[in-house]
Amino acid sequence: MSKISLTPNASGTGTFTIESPNSNTNRTLTLPDSDGALVSAGDIQSEATWEAGTGTTESLVSPAKVKAAIDALAGGGDFAPVAWADWNGVSSSLNNSGNVSSLSDYGTGYWGVNFSNSLSASTYSFAGGGVSATDATGGFIASDMGYNTNIANKTTSGMRHRAQKSNTQAWVDFYNNSTVYTI
């Protein structure tokens, strides 16, 4: 049979009382077989504290509540970004990215964005934009779909893009390029 031991704190002066509720039903409190602390009503933080993100007290949260919070931040969970990239097309270097491992340079105004973790399907969508070309003209970044049908331009591991000036049909290296991918 296990023993129950209560150990007071030698420097404390408060009195802790264990009290049972007014009940006619037998109850059992089973302690876990691990070290740790019990959660009390004082450990529960208000909804306002959670929404503001200001609480510093450790709290227990269910996985369902964590998922709901992430889904709310990501627009309901659907169409959340699965990858994004910002790069300098002149030097073909990534400035910043998420779930993007590298950038491939296939020539003037032609790059491949390579994902760190493959996407679940190649039916994802993308949005992108170029800010300025080397001669300070504007333009846009598009998919390479249909340009060369012999190349798999949109796969689960990456996507190829072309950049074009707005005022001509010339391919161009933009200083700033940004794309985002969603499923």
- Residues 56 and 128 both lie in one domain: no
- Residues 139 and 172 both lie in one domain: yes
Query: What mean pLDDT is predicted for residues 86-103?
Result: 92
Average pLDDT value for the chain: 78
pLDDT tens-place string over residues 18-38 = 777 788 888 787 777 777 666
pLDDT score of 65 more than 80? no
User: Pick the residue with more confidence: 86 or 143?
Assistant: 86
- Residues 178 and 88 both lie in one domain: yes
Q: Is residue 19 part of a domain?
A: no
pLDDT tens-place string over residues 36-57 = 666 666 566 777 776 677 777 6
Q: Is residue 92 part of a domain?
A: yes
Strand pairing report for 93-98 and 154-155: unpaired
- Residues 68 and 124 both lie in one domain: no
Given 57, 73, 89, which residue is the final one in a domain? 73
- Residues 65 and 132 both lie in one domain: no
Query: What mean pLDDT is predicted for residues 93-98?
Result: 93
Strand pairing report for 81-88 and 93-98: antiparallel
Confidence of residue 102 (pLDDT cuts 50, 70, 90): very high
Range of the domain at 113: 81-182
Residue 113: per-residue pLDDT: 95
Location of structure tokens 């331009």: 153
Q: Which residues pair with 115 in a beta bridge?
A: 100
Kindly report the backbone phi and psi dihedral angles of residue 51, in degrees, each rounded to the nearest multiple of 5, phi listed first. -65, -40
pLDDT tens-place string over residues 120-137 = 888 888 888 766 666 667
- Residues 120 and 174 both lie in one domain: yes
pTM here is 0.55
CA torsion sign for 67, 73, 74, 75 is positive
Given 73, 90, 123, which residue is the final one in a domain? 73
Q: State how far the Cα of 29 lies from the Cα of 124, in Å rounded to an integer.
A: 50
